[in-house]
Amino acid sequence: MTEPAREPATSFTLVHGGLVHRIATRLPFGGSDRFALTAAVFGAIAIVPIAVLAALQDVLYGDRVVLPLLSDWSALVRFAICVPLLVLAEKSIDARLSEAVGLLRTSGVVPGNVRGEFESALQHLTRTLRSVLPELILLAIAFGSSWAGARATLELTVPSWRVPVPGDESSTTMAGQWLGLVSLPLFRFLVLRWFWRIFLWSRFLFRVSRMDLMLIPTHPDGAAGLGFLGLAHSSFSALLVPLALTTGARGVFWVQYGSGTLEPLRNALIAFLVLALVLSLGPLLVFLPKLLTAKRRGLAEYGTLASDYTHRFDRKWVHGESSGEEVLGSADIQSLADLGNSYAAIRNMKFIPATAGNAVTLLLSAALPLLPVVAVVVPIEKILGVLLQLLG
């Protein structure tokens, strides 16, 4: 069977297609400016009208309410910083995953006899990503859930820029209404869209993991040739930063103006760090069965080879069958050492295609943005102590 033609690595993209991309392509600037422009537009939609409306109703700053807009870190961080970052994360993540798909095509991991199956799975992923319907559904979910989120602000016991009279929905400001009708749904849509993309990418990796891959247990990356996937997933640190900032800011808001306490906040932040690793490295777990099989097969095959070779080596050099050859400088010695190194490499093979360094990079990306936000209510030495415990 003729092997399908190899497509360029740049032919795959995780972020092009769908509702938002179609809108972005109609913006006046294209090319490399598109990510930055889309981020700026979405950020402006999320925060500028809120600031203007809050200023018009005299709740932007000052002492008319206990919590003016400029004192609400939860809103400022989420809409002025995290909304643009959620869009900007697309560029780096897309580039790294595109490279990973290119390496799956060219590294020999996907052999010619399953190339058609691989391309079919990739085409299915691309078609789903380009569809407008999923993003329309996500947008509907985001708007549908925003009402409950907006009503949660009525549980505050202090006058705020959103609800000057606590518990009185009729006192909701115009800025508060924009929050519930536009900014909050927009933020939730961007987060849900990332979850949807990660789900689709995970499903694609699952299909790849069920193919007859060419995995080499002695590969120097320690993952039978799949180590580049762990490096690609390190790019999800760009997504974890805005999620961490949002989580920290919301936690501080909960403690300062809601019913939260420091103990539940600490537990929530630890849970977030765990979920961050699951979100970014979890998709790679689909390769665990394949890598376990490759490791067992490698240990058995190289064990048989090593047993045969060491018996021959023993007869030749230890029990005098070398016919007077000099052991010093013999290639047999180096071959024995190489065989031992190969067996050790298989024994140390990882069960998922990611290194401890990849995990640390992602963990730091999720933990460090929490420090300046949470330090508002938690002493910095306590925060560092918890992080050191997690990293230790």
Residue 355 CB contacts under 8 Å (≥ 6 apart), including other chains = 222, 227, 230
pLDDT of residue 81: 94
pLDDT of residue 324: 56
Instruction: Compute the distance between CA of residue 118 and CA of residue 109 in angstroms, rounded to an integer.
Output: 11
pLDDT of residue 243: 95
What are residue 354's phi and psi, to 5 degrees?
-150, 145
Instruction: Compute the distance between CA of residue 17 and CA of residue 4 in angstroms, rounded to an integer.
Output: 25
Instruction: Compute the distance between CA of residue 169 and CA of residue 148 in angstroms, rounded to an integer.
Output: 13
Q: Which two tokens stand for residue 317?
A: 């050099």
Instruction: Compute the distance between CA of residue 126 and CA of residue 110 in angstroms, rounded to an integer.
Output: 19
pLDDT of residue 158: 80
pLDDT of residue 277: 92
Which of 86, 262, 335, 309 has the alpha carbon at shortest distance from 190? 86
pLDDT of residue 312: 75
pLDDT of residue 5: 43
Low-confidence stretches of the chain (pLDDT beneath 50): 1-10, 154
> Contact at 8 Å (CB) between 230 and 223?
yes
pLDDT of residue 2: 40
CA distances for 313 relative to 319, 323, 335, angstroms: 9, 13, 10
Instruction: Compute the distance between CA of residue 91 and CA of residue 36 in angstroms, rounded to an integer.
Output: 9
pTM over 0.95: no
pLDDT of residue 134: 92
pLDDT of residue 10: 44
